[in-house]
A and B are shown apart, each in its own frame.
Chain A
Amino acid sequence: MKLLYFAWVRERLGKAEEQIDPPAGVATVGELMAWLARRDEQHAYAFENPKVIRAAIDRSHVRADAVIAGASEIAFFPPMTGG
């Protein structure tokens, strides 16, 4: 699946997107963030406080307990500050 990153999440990772293939045990958005945080230093930094990070699956807001199966695009970003 494709991951997209925005604002300071993107900056901490040093990239705006990546393709990943998480193991079967990673079922929810929250578990995906925990798995990503274990990948390397940049991911650990970006996801050090997952409570403040928002997520969207296929362009809709979701909570951390949302199931990622079937998702083609998952985005992670800080709380929004538009308007």
Chain B
Amino acid sequence: MTVDIFSEDLLQVDDDADLIDAMAEHGWGDGLPVVAPTTERVDAMLLGCPRTDPDEVVAVLPPRFGEATRRTLAVNAVMAGCRPEHLPVLVAAVRALARPEVNLRGVNATTHNVAPLVVVHGEVARSGGYNGGRGALGPGNRANATTGRALRLVLLHVAGAIPGDGDASTQGGPAKYGLCVAENADASPWPLYPSAIGMEAPSAVTVHCGEAPHNVHDMESDDPARILDKVASAMATTAQNNACISQGEFFVLLCPEHAATCAAAGWSRRDVSSYLFQRARLPAGELKRAFGLRAWASWMDQLADDELVPMTEHPDNVRTMVVGGPGKHSSVVPSWGMTRSVTLPIQEPEGRPC
């Protein structure tokens, strides 16, 4: 045995122990190497949330009903390799996931491969070193990689979303290791996403529980419609949960060049979402053949088989923002279906840090 219970909160680990295996003895870890969450490192991590109570419960996470305190979140942040400036982002993301409209119990327990996409907006994206530019959805940036990973460790450890136990996912998915990105404000022709949904905050975090991103490339178009018709094609498929659930959201991550083409034609973010709502449709009969069990708006069930059904019931469910660097590749991130995205400010209204 390489790990012994030392106290209610602390474990005694052999100095030469393999920490991956030592954690695995308790069912902890994501299979990758972790940084040892020593008391000194956790105290240093908590400096990321100064003037707050480290033992205040900021969220209760199902299915384990684990109590997420800042200290527990800091432990997982240390293990993932975060820096203290990333902790407020993690805290806000956990608060967001605990909102009832996210339906975290379902997100964690379903057989689907759903995982949270974390989008960091505003000043904290810059100060925390988050990447919203070239390769933002991929490896190579500490803030993106470790914050996304820390959130997954929180879901494994605190929420109890352990594969085969609290997580029934049939196949799992790479996004379950972590998926965190910044909105590319510098390259966006439109205001920050939070302001588009009525939130004026210098820094904010959005969580969207969905699938891994699906690529859409358009190298040649100089008009918005031709680009967005390809995006709509990626949305209009029966190979996703949104097809049988009319309230589902789509996150459309436009690369700067595609967004610039839209903006140059005078299109607002709202215009992009409305166009995609209009164009991303499938015949009612095709959807009915594909899904005997549908959670549709009641009016959709009244459509004749040859009529087109929108992939989601409202343009506001198509959420558009700019992510990425040079090149002409955008992404679509369909949701799990029975969940809603949540955006929260990093700074609470009274000025208290998360």
| Binding between chains A and B | no
* Chain B residues with a Cβ under 8 A of chain A: none
* Chain A residues with a Cβ under 8 A of chain B: none
